[in-house]
Structure 1
Amino acid sequence: MINKEHIQKKLAQVIYPGFTKSIVDFGFTKEVSVSEERVSILLDIPSSAPEIEAQLREEITKRVSFLGDFQIDITITKPKMPRETSSHGKNVLPNIQNFVMVSSGKGGVGKSTTTVNLAIALAQQGKRVGLLDADIYGPNIPRMMGIEGEQPIFLGKTIKPILAHDLKVMSIGSLVEQGASLIWKGAMVTQAIEQMLEDISWGNLDVLLFDMPPGTGDAQLALAQNLPVTSGICVTTPQKVALDDTIRSMDMFTQLHIPIAGIVENMSGFICPDSGKEYDIFGKGTTQPLADAYQTEVLGEIPIEPAIREGGDSGLPITVLAPNCETSKRYQAMARKLWKKLLEVNESGGVNNEAIQPTVF
């Protein structure tokens, strides 16, 4: 008499197409039930490609039918993918549910600070979160996450990410000598991004956030070609000179078919530590017209606050250092908005960015 354990052993031999791990290793086998005349198997896979489903059905049927003469019922559930994803169906990390690209048109606008605190806020809300520092030329995540000098663990051909503040974290800065300059041409950047995606053992995650280099270059393109990026976030500051570059970053999301989750207006006002009063020294609210033009929203307005700088320098981001302060509350609100957006993208089939026409301000 066969039992569930016998079936599980056979399913552990079914390799997910295009990878070296089985559907059991990936956690895609959700339910197995066995009766005298019937075996029922429920799978939840990340690919909507019909050829993947057909290949899995054939392989499972072949292996399980070896155990005896009974009916095999295979139910496969699949996510609703965006109308046209950035990767055109390619996904080198099928055990991760959502990918968020955090980008900026120019440097110095607080992109890394935003990515770190947004990731921590999502983890504080119960999500399984990973953070990949893809800023090849200026990897700041190790210092900001308090893992500077900490070496990752190599497991054969794969790398185990570093755990920090309930996140799984990896950075190019953790793989090279501290302070070393990375003088890389385009092809080398692309190869580095691809290797960091495939060689890191992330496990099962609800969301993986990418801290991208500023601009619209090779790193962004390499990421978009290897993963179906769920949503993109653009970080900017209120000044018009920053908004000019932000338009280019928003247009990049449009061209790469990446649904836009929203814009983060960083350095939006200054909170005086003595009085708690907020002053709009760089302006405020200037990103709303841009968000309207791209049919998205302003995820949050993050003020200048001394504790943000202190937390970033000390390896204790403000969401950890002062979780109840005004800025941390705004990051928490941003995380909730982002998660809602990710659910909408997965449910509705994405955003038709082709209908959006870039606007000049």
Structure 2
Amino acid sequence: MALTEQDLLAALAGVQDPQTGTDFVSTRAVRNVQLQGGDVAFDVELGYPAKSLIPGLRSQLIAAARTVPGVQNVSVNLTSKIVAHAVQRGVQLLPGVKNIIAVSSGKGGVGKSTTAVNLALALAAEGAQVGLLDADIYGPSMPTMTRTSGKPDSLDGKFMEPKRSMGLQINSIGFLVDDEQAMIWRGPMASQALEQLVMQTRWDNLDYLVVDMPPGTGDIQLTMAQKVPLTGAVIVTTPQDIALIDAKKGITMFQKVSVPILGLVENMAVHLCSNCGHAEHIFGAEGGKKMAEAQGLQYLGALPLKMSIREQADSGLPTVAAEPDSDVSALYKDIARQVAVKIAQQGKDFSAKFPTITISKKS
């Protein structure tokens, strides 16, 4: 009995995407099926970066294909194609950037910047082109966390070239002012500086631009939410009540300006003793998880309060770069994939696909 494409697809439908719970056939991720005798070849295209999952997925797909009678050799090409997704109505996409992710918190001291830099590194480790923008005008920390410094270069006197470190493209107000200079700026001035950082950086073909937002819900946050094309926001909080109260304000702000919430990260969820490994819930247990459920948000996961995370960020080599195969890095990569999948499931941006209509008067 001759091998058919229908038989092959029926077998492949038994393999599920571990991030979405759906199969690759019904979602039309399986493409370019080729059958030649007992040789089978096909492509699988993911809408999110998943470099760490590809070996396991390839093995599963090959095993499924070989259950079909007559199949001898199987070739699977797994790739990721990341496209631009819809942003706030009336806001144009940023040149060179497909998707912008705001990492936000209602208050300071919850590890937002550490989460942002590790999220960016995790997306890059999974195979995406990633940028990192330090939007914390009053307290920029990315120069320290990424070992970058000095004034940005400009090739044309108009656009800044991002710094490059650990596979990321980076810009920060910290590159433009002295380390000890206090940013004594009123809201409008700080907001204008942020707009320049975003709009006048020559980002180079980014799949994701991760923005480390300042804490709170003031002028800078509103500028980002209303004028910068945000694909979505990630909320970072600790489990304690005082942090959750402020995190809820941040959630409300993004909802009011129609920026999707991609999910909530519960940072410092449990303290792990560096000597004995004892786990203790210093800031309370599962406060962030409970709030995510109450707000109808995706709970992206919990990160530990661990000394090495702080030490590595302070040293300029955050955890995902310093210990890429560690358990904590695996947590950051899982969060990154969840965020990317959530974006992939949103509506795509079709602004570039509308035809250009030209009206001319012919003589």
Identical-residue share of aligned pairs (%): 43
Q: Distance in 2 between matches of 1:320 and 1:134?
A: 22
Secondary structure of 2:98 counterpart: coil
Q: Which residue of 1 aligns with 2:308?
A: 307
Q: Which residue of 2 aligns with 1:114?
A: 115
Q: Distance in 2 between matches of 1:289 and 1:314?
A: 33
Listed one character per residue, the Cα deviations across residues 203-233 of structure 1 (whole Å, up to 9, x for unaligned) are 2110001101100111111122223311111
Q: Which residue of 2 aligns with 1:207?
A: 208
Q: Distance in 1 between matches of 2:302 and 2:261?
A: 17
Q: Which residue of 2 aligns with 1:236?
A: 237
Listed one character per residue, the Cα deviations across residues 310-341 of structure 1 (whole Å, up to 9, x for unaligned) are 11111010111122222111101100101101
1:150 partner letter: G
Give runs of aligned pairs for residues 11-26 of structure 1, distance below 5 A: none
Q: Distance in 2 between matches of 1:200 and 1:329?
A: 31
2:140 aligned with 1:151, yes or no?
A: no
Q: Distance in 1 between matches of 2:226 and 2:143?
A: 26
2:103 partner letter: V
Q: Which residue of 1 aligns with 2:271?
A: 270
Q: Which residue of 1 aligns with 2:165?
A: 164
Count of aligned positions: 267
Q: Distance in 1 between matches of 2:142 and 2:111?
A: 12
Listed one character per residue, the Cα deviations across residues 123-143 of structure 1 (whole Å, up to 9, x for unaligned) are 000000000000000001100
Secondary structure of 2:216 counterpart: coil
Q: Which residue of 2 aligns with 1:343?
A: 344
Q: Distance in 1 between matches of 2:222 and 2:322?
A: 35
What are the ranges of 5 or more consecutive residues in structure 2 without an aligned counterpart? Answer: 1-82, 351-363
Q: Which residue of 2 aligns with 1:246?
A: 247
Distance 1:348 1:284, change over 3 A: farther
Give runs of aligned pairs for residues 1-361 of structure 1, distance below 5 A: 82=86, 85-86=87-88, 88-91=89-92, 93-147=94-148, 149-156=149-156, 157-347=158-348
Q: Which residue of 2 aligns with 1:355?
A: none
TM value normalised by structure 2: 0.70
**Does the aligned pair in 1 maintain the 2:85–2:99 contact within 8 Å?**
no
Secondary structure of 1:97 counterpart: strand
Distance 1:347 1:275, change over 3 A: farther
Question: Once the 2 structures are TM-superposed, how far is the Cα of residue 291 of structure 1 from its aligned partner?
Answer: 1.1
Q: Which residue of 2 aligns with 1:18?
A: none
Q: Distance in 1 between matches of 2:308 and 2:208?
A: 27
**Does the aligned pair in 2 maintain the 1:144–1:316 contact within 8 Å?**
yes
Q: Distance in 1 between matches of 2:108 and 2:347?
A: 31
Q: Distance in 1 between matches of 2:184 and 2:318?
A: 29
Listed one character per residue, the Cα deviations across residues 59-101 of structure 1 (whole Å, up to 9, x for unaligned) are xxxxxxxxxxxxxxxxxxxx7864xx43x22225133111111
**Does the aligned pair in 1 maintain the 2:84–2:98 contact within 8 Å?**
no
TM value normalised by structure 1: 0.71
**Does the aligned pair in 2 maintain the 1:259–1:345 contact within 8 Å?**
no
2:300 partner letter: L
**Does the aligned pair in 2 maintain the 1:232–1:259 contact within 8 Å?**
yes
Question: Once the 2 structures are TM-superposed, how far is the Cα of residue 153 of structure 1 from its aligned partner?
Answer: 1.2
Distance 1:348 1:187, change over 3 A: closer
Q: Which residue of 2 aligns with 1:49?
A: none
Q: Distance in 1 between matches of 2:192 and 2:349?
A: 33
Question: Once the 2 structures are TM-superposed, how far is the Cα of residue 347 of structure 1 from its aligned partner?
Answer: 5.0
Secondary structure of 2:300 counterpart: strand
Kindly report the root-mean-square deviation, in angstroms, between the aligned alpha carbons of the 2 structures.
Answer: 1.8
